[in-house]
Chain A
């Protein structure tokens, strides 16, 4: 019962997989929403039918739990009364005092929804076609009619309530102020009704006109009567619709009846607890008052002030996306939710604007695209940084036959060194203006951007070639049979180590060559003819490096390094990977299935576990991450995972993974 809400809300979002026709609830989302999440049911139902969903692990869990909670005859998710033929929304709006988390869902059969509440013994008010349900402290409200359901969960902000003027106006006390103890003691000792008198009066947004009487509700109220003091006895056959109510506060006045020393600390604890409870109750009452004001006349509001008037939101809508998260403004969002005292005036997101993330569940892949809009100034910086592309010569040193994954990054190091002080200045300027100015000047003075960019040009590629077993020596003990005298012996064992190659572009190798010569002289580097070995005894793995073709190579495979140094390495890389790597400033790839069967049995443990690990790895599609070139002021990127050939589509594949993990 306690989790009823949770189930309803999770059901609402999961139900969105089943929508067919349009019913644009977005017109009900206020224009000042900070975040909007859109779930397009029609897209999703095309990928998986309601019947199929009901048979999945998630479908069964939701139906079972919600049906159990509501004690109704609910067999499928269609029985919960929601209109499964439309788009569902979550949105968040907030200000300096309160945050509202709202869910908008289309209703198909309000009677079924009513039944859901009645079954769960949750009473609601009805005014015409409009039903309203308030949680115990009225900070959670659900309103629905024949077409729409709105659920609101509101949270009052501590930063607001702790403001001296607000605290004073609302009569909040400071829990750890010693005077509070006296005050609370006095208040509680005098009468436990004194606190009740200070409760703000809550007005119902809708006057109840209809009284609902059901057997289950009568039983519910009757049971409650046993536990709640000072509540009017329920009428025998009818019940009053529950007023939006605030949790009753019942201070323990008997705690102060005796003033013996032994109970003093306990009394203080009780006083502090009571003070806290009183504050909490007042804050919730205030939050509830705002919430009621916010939802008052919600369904009657015109579309003029809706989010649909926001061009950026409209632009973010993609009919092909199954889900979209839209963030109105990164700075605004951070300022709303991160207390100013925490950031101390530092604007870490200066220059960041709106953002969105879109999820596409396609036949052959799961794709997640994200976009962020920058200010003109910030976009100009990114354009400069992203001017450099990945060195195409890197491709000659990748062997796709053994390739498990890679991560490539290209950035103009000269532009970065030039722009970095400016970025820092923007971020900290408001607080540490003088210090930042001094530091940035000093940085520019000390660093020769041109020279550094010739040594490290700014592009690099990390290639993961799998795992290899290498012999490692270790010390252990042997005990002779005569008298178990201990003898230290050196043994060898196989250890599984990652096999990788890192490539970094360089133009001026003079400094590196000097460093190598110094390393050789100091025995930190071993010259292996054309390539070098880092002689670091504590290194977890052997490391080799060489410089060829304007590239610094660092890797774990001595043979490979030798071939590179002697111009004998033969790489092979497909066009798909070349295109991804050369077209992006950041690109990554990981193939879990290529790793399957390559993990030595001794690393996993028992054969059963090894088989399961290999099965899971084999079932995972290849993962790609890439960034796109900056377009105007919009920077975008994408992460995707291929769907295995035997799967019908990405949604079914996702549910099959969940089902598999539960087996």
Chain B
């Protein structure tokens, strides 16, 4: 029996059987003066069996599967872009091909520096549903704001996907954590919850809600002066 045929048969069986999901985690630590750090993570560990199978193929369901080298190259491009961005420093990347976790972290001088950057990074990481946000922080009013606009492009692109690919998004989650030096007095997004110290706020939601526009990430967070 040709080895190649057997390989495809096993993969076919594997792909039919495995469910999949992934996590996106966005962490921002903000200092009083408006500077801070960002850590963006895409975690496919819960689907690593499926990802490992997919990585053995050139394409699956008509979609080109990026090679390890391609993924490394894309990440290197992100790092290079960040290093050349105004107000950005201490750029670090980490790719764990055992667990399929990719993360990028960097420091910023002012929160406005990250507006375009997060969009660019998420776009590179092929996460298009949440890359339409902007961040502001006023050192005088102590208000941190994330403005999020749902784009119809996300649902249009999603609807173009084959049903089996759509399933990938069913259990995918997005988590944002913002940590501050001062306690939070008030916030506007009902999906968010504040930590015991009142200095951190977390929002955890499904990616599907972001794609179809049912979930809004906009949040106005007022810190104590």
Contacts and interface: CB of A to CB of B under 8 A. Distances in A.
A483 B197 contact: yes
Interface stretch (A421-429, A432-440, A497-505, A511-519): A497-505
Contact of A482 (B175, B177, B195): B195
Interface stretch (B18-26, B109-117, B143-151): B18-26
Contacts of B11: 540
Contacts of B196: 481-483
B23 A479 contact: no
Interface residues of B, number: 36
Contacts of B13: 464, 498, 500
Contacts, number: 91
Interface stretch (A61-69, A470-478, A617-625): A470-478
B177 A504 contact: no
Interface string B36-78: 0000000101101110110100000000000000000000000
Nearest to B17: A496
A482 B196 CA distance: 5
A474 B23 contact: no
B32 interface: no
A460 B14 contact: no
B23 A477 contact: yes
B195 A484 contact: yes
Interface in A481-511: 481-484, 486, 493, 495-498, 500, 502, 504
B69 to A, nearest CB: 15
Interface in B81-115: 97-99, 101
Nearest to A504: B1
A538 interface: yes
Contacts of A539: 52
A597 to B, nearest CB: 15
Contacts of B46: 474, 476, 493
A82 interface: no
Contact of A467 (B10, B17, B55): B17
B200 interface: yes
B45 A540 contact: no
Contacts of B50: 540
Contacts of A467: 17
A483 B43 contact: no
Contacts of A480: 195
Nearest to B194: A484
A191 B18 CA distance: 67
Contacts of B48: 472, 474
Interface string B198-225: 0111100000000000000000000000
A116 B177 CA distance: 71
Interface in A60-81: none
Contacts of A498: 10, 13-14, 17
A460 B197 contact: no
Given A483-B199, A486-B25, A493-B46, A462 B9 contact: yes
B177 A479 contact: yes
A540 B53 contact: yes
Nearest to B170: A605
Contacts of B52: 538-540
A338 to B, nearest CB: 25
A464 B10 CA distance: 10
Contacts of A541: 14, 49
Contact of A603 (B14, B17, B23, B55): B17
Interface in B158-206: 175, 177, 179, 195-197, 199-202
Contacts of B199: 483
Contact of B45 (A475, A486, A497): A475
Contacts of A407: 1, 9
30 contacts: A407-B9, A409-B1, A467-B17, A474-B99, A475-B99, A475-B101, A476-B23, A479-B175, A480-B195, A483-B195, A483-B196, A483-B199, A483-B200, A484-B177, A484-B195, A486-B25, A493-B46, A495-B17, A495-B19, A495-B49, A497-B49, A498-B17, A500-B10, A500-B13, A502-B1, A504-B1, A537-B98, A538-B55, A538-B98, A540-B18
Interface of B: 1, 6, 9-11, 13-14, 17-19, 23, 25, 27, 43, 45-46, 48-50, 52-53, 55, 97-99, 101, 175, 177, 179, 195-197, 199-202
Interface of A: 407, 409, 460, 462, 464, 467, 472, 474-477, 479-484, 486, 493, 495-498, 500, 502, 504, 537-541, 602-603
Closest 3 CB pairs of A and B: A498-B13, A460-B1, A484-B200
